[in-house]
Chains A and B, each alone.
Chain A
Amino acid sequence: MAVAGLKARMAAFLKLPEEKLKDDVLLTDLVTESFILVEMVIELQDDLGIQLMQDDLKPVRTVGDLVRVIDSKGSSR
């Protein structure tokens, strides 16, 4: 189930325009340090009521990868 507005949530967290979050953009290119991604992922889990594990995130490199992983977990809200 696709999570509605996921990129908009990510863009809001990263304080970036949503157009910058193209599927093939590397997540690490969007932030100055990787810990920002940890904060974002934790916040997304809280907001969406989903649970991600390190194994889920291992293959994640790009915006599109992260969207796919989160979509595959669905959302309870």
Chain B
Amino acid sequence: MPDPLTENEQWILSFYRTSEINGALFFGRLARAMKPGPIQRDMTKHFADESQHAWYWTECINRMGAEPLKLSQAYQDKYLEAAGIPANIMEVLALTQTFEKRVIAQYARHSRIVDLQPEVLDTFNKIIDDEKWHIEWVGKALKSMEGEYGRDTIAESLERYRKVDEEVYGAILKEHEQRVAELMRGRGNHAEGKGPWPWPV
């Protein structure tokens, strides 16, 4: 039987799970709203991936002898609040790109905690390649939209969402300072010392 999860670990893994579910719901609804074509196809795969990730985290928490916590807060909503509602698929994808980059950076950071439980590491390893593909396909899709929206307009949208990401991320860091610090101390030596906490998907 693995080491029991600390309260903070249970919280953060539940947080990942909730965020993956929110991501799945977001992309699923977009996939449903889109007309047929390569973007609809990739968006559907993206939806399927995020659903799968939600299951992986659920399973991981269970394997560690715990239940996922019910967390109602959706951080995606904070992005939408701060950034404004995207008006078209290009803007949705620009927001997604920013978000996915944040996710992969934080998953990578969390996975480098030195004495991370093998169950958690295993879950990161199962997820990380999908997350890389998310950034890749969205990048390609944005490129393919340059004719329709203009390269500069797309660059402006990406820059706007990057700023929003910094704002929202900073605010969340502040909100959960205590928990983050404990999580990083919890299982001992973080590979990078006192780094930011793992960010949701």
Partner of B149 from the list A35, A39, A51 (CB cut-off 8 Å) is A51
Also in contact, A42 and B88, with CB within 8 A (given A35-B29, A51-B148, A51-B149): yes
Instruction: Label chain B's interface by main secondary structure.
Output: helix
Q: Which residues of A contact B35 (CB under 8 A)?
A: 46
A53 touches B33 (CB 8 A): no
The smallest beta-carbon distance between B2 and chain A, in angstroms, is 38
B86 touches A38 (CB 8 A): yes
Tell yes or no: A54 within 8 A of B by CB: yes
Q: Which residues of B contact A52 (CB under 8 A)?
A: 87-88
Also in contact, A43 and B33, with CB within 8 A (given A51-B148, A51-B149): yes
Q: Which residues of A contact B87 (CB under 8 A)?
A: 41, 52-54, 56-57
Q: Which residues of A contact B33 (CB under 8 A)?
A: 39, 42-43
Q: By CB atoms of chain B within 10 A, which of A37, A41, A43, A53 has the most?
A: A53
The smallest beta-carbon distance between A2 and chain B, in angstroms, is 21
B148 touches A54 (CB 8 A): no
Count of chain A residues with a beta carbon within 8 Å of a chain B beta carbon: 17
B84 touches A54 (CB 8 A): yes
Tell yes or no: A72 within 8 A of B by CB: no
Also in contact, A34 and B88, with CB within 8 A (given A39-B33, A46-B35): no
Q: Which residues of B contact A34 (CB under 8 A)?
A: 80, 85
CA distance A37 to B52 in the complex (A): 27
Cβ-closest chain A residue relative to B148: A51
The smallest beta-carbon distance between A19 and chain B, in angstroms, is 25
B34 touches A42 (CB 8 A): yes
Also in contact, A51 and B88, with CB within 8 A (given A42-B33, A46-B35): yes
Tell yes or no: B89 within 8 A of A by CB: yes
CA distance A46 to B92 in the complex (A): 15
Partner of B89 from the list A35, A42, A57 (CB cut-off 8 Å) is A42
Which residues of A pack against B, CB within 8 Å? 34-35, 37-39, 41-43, 45-46, 51-54, 56-58
- The 4 tightest CB contacts between A and B, nearest first, are A39-B33, A54-B87, A52-B87, A57-B87
Which residues of B pack against A, CB within 8 Å? 26, 29-30, 32-35, 80, 84-89, 91-92, 148-149, 153, 157
* Given contact pairs A41-B88, A42-B30, A52-B87, a sample of 5 additional A-B residue pairs in the complex whose CB atoms are under 8 Å apart: A37-B85, A38-B86, A45-B88, A53-B91, A54-B157
